[in-house]
Amino acid sequence: MKAPTVTVHGAGRTVTGSCFEVAFGRGRILVDCGLFQGTRTVEALNREPFGFDAKAIDAVLLTHAHLDHSGLLPRLVGEGFRGPIWCTRATRDLLHIMLPDAARIQEQEAERRNRRADRADEPPIEPLYTLADAERAIDQARDVELETQFEPAPGFQARLWNAGHILGSASVELVAGGSRMLFSGDLGPEQKAFHLDPEGPHGVDHLLCESTYGDRDREAATIEQRRAFLETEVKAALARGGNLVIPVFALERTQELLLDLARLINSGRLHAQVFIDSPLASRATEIFRRHQRELEDMGDGEIFHHPSFHFTESVEQSMRLNSMSGAIILSASGMCEAGRIRHHLRYNLPRSDSTILFVGFQAQGTLGRTILDGAGRVRMSGRDVAVRAQIRRIDSYSAHADRSELIAWVEARKPVRGSLFLTHGEEQALEALKRDLESGLPSILIPEIGERYELPAGAPAKRLATGRVELREALSRDWQNDYADMVVNLKRELRQIRSDRQRAEALARMRDVIDQYADHRKKRRRAG
């Protein structure tokens, strides 16, 4: 019997765009079909042709509802995929809100770009996919119980395992041609609210493991310690007299914070009114309510009906929050790139009595990162906004396993008879995790997008096709990232120089470097 093969279509030497194609006999299965997210170069990959024929795919196995794992499903359906999308029931419920929201953003983005005057003579940009594609994808979703065997396509056996990352998240076990494969999806940390620690089978032939935080160990904080950090921050913010604005991810982080706030208020440690101002976060919270029996630490479900919690719906209700003081406002998006949070930032950033508290990851180049890095002014919808509010952060909330938790998860899957593939990570994280795991495993691979491997039972993987070398540069840090980093920190660095004279000198020396390049260009032009 021939062995199955895997082709890496995303999350190879990069974090996002998760998509693996497993082929065996005539069957073809995708594990995830995610959106590429990040720099413009990375996001451009979303518009490239798929590395496979969408119509030839028999089924999709979906690890979880985050868009970097699910966000290209509507496009897959738009290109003719008609098979089932297997996932947990909670993931299926979450797709009902995540995919239409993503489609609306795609439609708005296309519309915005087509309106731009400088594009007047160019052909209109089509949205990546439409609301209709998203709805069709939702119709194709089928739910299965965790740890229950099923046949996603002829010749394949599959099983989903709790991944402890977000509501509904799972790792995917696949057996074909006698070879057992396990795809981690995203793995959650220990000490995560709501979810048990990740699980999985013992003994696999090939393991594909995420490495997002493969080079980082978090300072261990228990749920109780995290609540104490939050209590300190909230009390300090309220004592200042203004509002406490917390940018949140609508899914999971919002509900974690609500749980912690509810417990602090119930035990008399805090007195506050909490406004949840994000329609997506409100809908995600509703889905948590539907699944509260599967979740840990829910108490009597107070996060859904706490007298201090107010879910705003209409834009008018949202606007009314502008005139408040002493309120806690949770709003999305989590990195401040879109959504109602921008509106709250516009009103609260200039207030020296208000506080902005970051509780989630802020990617390079986002507004959240700019504020967190200490910008004195930010540009929002064509306006300069002064930053006078207190900027605070708590880093102990995480939905991802850190370095030692990833190692422990891999250990628990042993024996790994064939190869361990490290996926979903940036170069540094991948290499660090590889070094840490090297001694105990026969073969560790860091696959590139486009590579295809044979996955035989009981033996290391064999590479059958090389990757897309031209992507290597696109996926590595580009100069625009370095530039954004430099600009963000420049003012602060300059301020730290002792005198005005030395500051002027530093600027003049930077000017010199730029001038040297200009001179060089001029000389070449004269010579050529």
Residues at the site binding Zn ion, with contacts judged by CB under 5 A: 66, 186
SS3 state at 341: helix
Q: How far is CA 495 from the centre of its chain?
A: 34
- Please, which residue, 66 or 206, has the CB nearer to Zn ion? 66
Among residues 188, 74, 203, 197, the alpha carbon closest in space to that of 139 is found at 74
CB of 6 to Zn ion, least distance (A): 20
- At closest approach, how far in Å is the CB of 165 from Zn ion? 6
Quick check: helix, strand or coil at residue 330?
Answer: strand
Query: What does the block give as tokens for 157?
Result: 């056996």
Smallest distance from Zn ion to CB 32, Å? 10
**Nearest residue (CB) to Zn ion, 67 versus 128:** 67
Nearer to Zn ion, 66 or 340 (CB): 66
Nearer to Zn ion (CB atom), residue 67 or residue 175: 67
Report which residue type is found at 518.
A
Nearest CB to Zn ion, comparing residues 156 and 361:
361
Rank residues 89 and 342 by Cβ distance to Zn ion and give the closer one. 89
Q: What is the DSSP letter of 204?
A: B
φ, ψ (nearest 5 deg) of residue 182: -130, 125
**Could you give the C-alpha distances from 181 to 20, 82, 85, 407, 453, in angstroms and in order?**
12, 25, 19, 18, 12
Alpha carbon separation from 296 to 192, 238, 239 (Å, rounded) = 10, 30, 33
How far apart are the C-alpha atoms of 8 and 104, rounded to whole Å?
Answer: 28
Q: Are 389 and 325 in contact (CB under 8 A)?
A: no
DSSP string, 404-442: HHHHHHHHHT--B-S-EEEES--HHHHHHHHHHHGGG-S
Nearest distance, CB of residue 63 and Zn ion, angstroms: 8
Specify whether the backbone of 299 is left (phi greater than 0), alpha (psi in -120 to 50) or beta: left
* Minimum CB–partner distance for residue 397 and Zn ion (Å): 14
Residue among 169 and 318 whose Cβ is closer to Zn ion:
169
Two tokens, residue 329? 């406002």
Residue 64 CB, nearest approach to Zn ion (Å): 6
Give min distance, CB of 193 to Zn ion, in A. Answer: 16
Q: How far is the CB of 16 from Zn ion (least distance, A)?
A: 10
Radius of gyration of the chain (CA): 24
* Smallest distance from Zn ion to CB 212, Å: 9
